[in-house]
Chain A
Amino acid sequence: MSSAYQYYLATLLVYFGSNTIACWALNLQYGISGVLNFSFILFQAVGAYVTAIFTLGPSTSSSYQSYIAGARLPFPIPWLLAMVAGGLLSYLLALFVLRPERRDFQAMVMLVVSIIAADVVVTQKGLFNGHNGLAAIPKPFASKVGSELIRYGWFYVALTGATVVLTYIVVHRITSSPWARQLRAMRDNSEALESLGVNVRTESTKVFVVGGALAALSGAVLVQFISAWSPGAWDTAETFLFFVAIIVGGAGNNAGAVLGAALVLGVFQEGLRYLPSFGYTGLAESIQFMGLGLLILAFLWWKPGGLIPERRRTFGGAPGGTPPPSLTNGRTRFTVAGSLTRSLKRN
């Protein structure tokens, strides 16, 4: 395999790893808990920016880019700070946005926050260098691994892979736990869950913070590989790419999120690069977004559960919980159990 293809493959794998973490984060928020986070990309961007400023070193008047709170911290501290920042921003947003009983309000406010944040970053150049964004972001362990592109690329694939595994452990522990059952109940009917004594606002805040921290981690992973980050990378529309991935792959299922990340953010996005150029500049991108729109509509219409639907959680046989006799032998009996069963089936 040529060096160019090797690097291309390594790049695809790093993107896949970062997208997988992001999809798991959104799956926790939306697929499991029903939180429509239309500002999702903002949290990935926060992770990327925080990682950048804590690896670039202090911003000086002579440097070609300006940003806040610069420092040069060793790996993995910038990634951890990115997660803290993502979680903190999630918490602050949750304080005034999360209303599980008003999901329409919640979704609209998050969308608006995402748009405002992008405008603030672009217009306030002192924050993150405006439109140009941040560049020349140092790569972790570059001095030890060496700057040879292919060698470092594969090293970063391994680093991303390890991060994905660690993230999966966290995500799997959550999604297989009784807490996830509570979160899924919140998604299905938050008012009913509240009436059972669960403070749904607190629980949705918790899962929102966890998702925000993981989204920030995905941004951290990506930014140190590509070494640059600008507002163009986190346009509001990018959020919907992740939603398409979750819905196509299967909302509420970790494997579905991985498949969605591979198919939508990998195959679909990359595949379009191989189409011959046609029409005016930007037409292909527009068609790409239209294609994503059609994809999400098609899945919501014909396969709302996605390619790998949410798994039904079963708990083995019932102790003494066998079906009533009239169900097991298929005959109608005039017994109490039989009459109950028939009435249940009719009703």
Chain B
Amino acid sequence: MNADTPTAGPEYEPATADALNVIDLHLAFGGNKAVDGASFAIPRGQLTGLIGPNGAGKSTVLKLIAGSMQPTAGTILMNGNNISGSPAYVVARLGVIRTFQLSSEFAKLTVLENLMVAVRTMRGNTFVGAMRGRRYWRAAQDETRDRAYVLLDQFQLAYAANQYAGELSGGQKRLVEIMRGLMAQPEVLLLDEPLAGVNPTLRLVIEEHLVRLRDGGLTMVMVEHELPTVDRCCNSVVVMARGKVLASGTMATLRQNREVIDAYLVG
């Protein structure tokens, strides 16, 4: 078996309805517990919100799931495989793609290239493939380009295809990041504050896209501060505070939860 391929521990029995299971996750920096025993499930085909006050550990949990950080303890299951502690590229190859809290476009690549680069397995994406010449990879590249254009059309950004991504506005960069994630054909898309710094009009546009993707059956996890957005987009919500999960459920039920109200919904 490939050393990069994580294996499932025999003791785990993941629920098939869940795309991801986070079990007793911990991350400590010295004495500071950034994540302190967080456990929750991400249902398949739904958009799950991850909310909580600043410093609750939401983005850190997202990074731990994506493999960008390694937990000190705990388990992350994806389709029965324990992916906890796997490096980011392995987690991504298993289908978990993330976007970033701060814009992370490839600034000196065009918008179209930003999307095309997400197709990792395309012909010509290796040294050997490159040496085999244009004839070897041209058809695959054309196919990838056409796929990227379809996505650009859906997100109404085709007119900016040949613009450098670094020249785009903050909101456009967010859209490019989401499209880039989609080009990788993820099983789970992790969105870290995808609406941060985006103007109100474009927020609504991005929300519409997220709802469309959710309704299309894509599993997503979104860290978000704006509760109206969470209300409109998310099927269910996980509330975190001080590295722990306070509660989970729909926004309607969470509004009745005194602990959640005290920790986050008020103040």
Contact = CB atoms under 8 A, between A and B. Distances in A.
Contacts of B158: 318, 320-323
Given A344-B202, A346-B199, A347-B169, A195 B97 contact: yes
A315 to B, nearest CB: 5
B124 interface: yes
Interface in A277-309: none
B40 interface: no
A343 B162 contact: no
Interface in A173-211: 173-174, 176-182, 184-185, 187-189, 191-200, 206-207, 210
Contacts, number: 168
Contacts of A176: 134
A201 to B, nearest CB: 9
Contacts of A321: 149, 152-153, 158-159, 161
B113 A310 contact: no
Contacts of B263: none
Nearest to A179: B130
A178 B98 contact: no
B131 A196 contact: no
Interface residues of B, number: 61
Interface string B144-159: 0110010011001111
Nearest to B96: A195
B105 interface: yes
Given A319-B149, A343-B202, A195 B127 contact: no
A322 B137 CA distance: 26
A185 B184 CA distance: 15
Contact of B180 (A170, A182, A196, A318): A196
B219 interface: no
Size category of the A interface is 35 or more
A180 B110 contact: no
Contact of B202 (A319, A324, A347): A347
Contact of A185 (B68, B117, B153): B117
Contacts of A188: 105-109
A63 B195 CA distance: 73
A322 B161 CA distance: 10
A178 B124 CA distance: 5
A339 interface: yes
Given A344-B171, A345-B169, A314 B110 contact: yes
Contacts of B120: 182, 196-198
B68 A206 contact: no
Given A312-B164, A339-B201, A182 B110 contact: no
B93 A197 contact: yes
Nearest to B183: A196
11 contacts: A178-B137, A181-B117, A182-B125, A185-B106, A193-B117, A312-B164, A318-B161, A320-B153, A339-B201, A340-B205, A347-B171
Interface of B: 66, 68, 87-89, 92-93, 97-98, 100, 104-110, 112-114, 116-118, 120, 122-127, 129-131, 133-134, 137, 140-141, 145-146, 149, 152-153, 156-159, 161-162, 164, 169-172, 180, 184, 198-199, 201-202, 205
Given A178-B116, A318-B159, A320-B149, 15 more contacts: A177-B129, A178-B122, A178-B130, A196-B117, A196-B120, A198-B92, A318-B158, A318-B161, A321-B152, A323-B158, A339-B201, A340-B205, A347-B169, A347-B171, A347-B172
